[in-house]
């Protein structure tokens, strides 16, 4: 089904030590808990879940977390103090903002107008329409915390090795830097050539990552970003491989070499200028033999 927005009224339910939960997610990449969804929803495993903090005004209402439903809806045992008749799902939260740093209601209304944010108060859950999902993901990517993607989580009992995390620095998350990078380099992966928008249509239009060629920690804190020379577009697969099991990220040529060695690098059309350059090079080489 469509993604769910889970309502959290902190005045009515506050059994979390929320600061500790935020720290737990930051360290381990996930926090598993059950969550009430009110009347039964058709929310099976894999359903994306967004956590909405419900306050009394715009200033204390806002988007505060993201996770994934990991179970079918269920009811607790009859003698449970959690509320007779309520339906629950198990949710693994993979990203949470500290209290006070939630993405405010005014911002949500402007960025994702297709969601009835003003009518969300008091609701345990509501469905997010598919047309609203790209805008909400874009907003979370720009203003939410750095976190592992939900698709990187493995279902089951969640031992520590089940979670894979890829670090993303603040330059790669900067919306203005991303726009400049893509405007100059284009919207195809610099390593494998995949255009996510061509492959998936509008749903893939905002999925392409931008990758920092040199880690900022190497060049120092006074460093000024150049979005054209310092950032390159990579699809999520190539971006993950750029960081996978290496201290210094792989370069685009290194990624292309890996793809080519595996036999998957597609050939590229040769332009007229490239053909002319090859011909000029051949003439120079032949002249040198004389």
Query: What does the pLDDT look like over 10-46, one tens digit per residue?
Result: 877 777 888 888 888 877 777 888 888 876 667 778 8
Query: How far, in Å, are 17, 83, 252, 276 from residue 270 at the CA level?
Result: 60, 67, 20, 10
pLDDT band of 180, cuts 50, 70, 90: confident
CA distance 20 to 69: 21
Which one of 160, 187, 217 terminates a domain? 160
Q: Is 245 helix (H, G, I), strand (E, B) or coil?
A: coil
Do 141 and 258 sit in the same domain of this protein?
no
Do 189 and 288 sit in the same domain of this protein?
yes
pTM of full prediction above 0.85: no
CA distance 240 to 238: 5
Enumerate residues 6+ apart whose C-beta is below 8 A from 174: 225
Which one of 160, 185, 215 terminates a domain? 160
Do 155 and 27 sit in the same domain of this protein?
yes
CA distance 97 to 65: 6
Which one of 143, 160, 177 terminates a domain? 160
The number of distinct structural domains making up the chain is 2
The per-residue pLDDT for 51 is: 92
Residue 16 belongs to what domain range? 1-160
């Amino acid at each position: 089904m469509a993604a769910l927005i889970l309502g959290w009224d902190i005045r009515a339910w506050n059994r979390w030590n929320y600061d500790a939960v935020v720290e737990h997610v930051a360290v381990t990449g996930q926090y598993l808990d059950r969550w009430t969804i009110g009347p039964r929803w058709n929310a099976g495993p894999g359903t994306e879940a967004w956590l909405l903090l419900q306050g009394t005004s715009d200033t204390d209402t806002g988007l505060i977390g993201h996770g994934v439903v990991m179970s079918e809806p269920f009811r607790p045992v009859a003698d449970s103090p959690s509320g007779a008749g309520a339906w629950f799902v198990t949710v693994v939260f993979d990203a949470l903002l500290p209290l006070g740093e939630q993405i405010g209601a005014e911002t949500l209304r402007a960025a994702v107008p297709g969601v009835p944010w003003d009518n969300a108060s008091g609701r345990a859950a509501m469905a997010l329409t598919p047309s609203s999902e790209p805008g909400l993901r874009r907003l979370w990517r720009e203003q939410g915390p750095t976190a592992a993607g939900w698709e990187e989580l493995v279902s089951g009992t969640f031992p520590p090795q089940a979670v894979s995390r890829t670090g993303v620095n603040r330059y790669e998350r900067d919306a203005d830097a991303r726009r400049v990078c893509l405007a100059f380099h284009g919207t195809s992966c610099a390593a494998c050539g995949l255009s996510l928008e061509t492959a998936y249509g509008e749903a893939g239009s905002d999925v392409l990552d931008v990758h920092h060629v040199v880690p900022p920690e190497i060049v120092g804190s006074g460093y000024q970003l150049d979005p054209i020379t310092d950032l390159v577009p990579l699809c999520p697969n190539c971006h993950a491989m750029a960081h996978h099991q290496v201290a210094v990220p792989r370069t685009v040529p290194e990624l292309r070499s890996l793809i080519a060695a595996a036999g998957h690098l597609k050939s590229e059309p040769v332009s007229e200028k490239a053909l002319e350059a090859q011909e000029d090079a051949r003439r120079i080489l032949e002249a040198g033999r004389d």
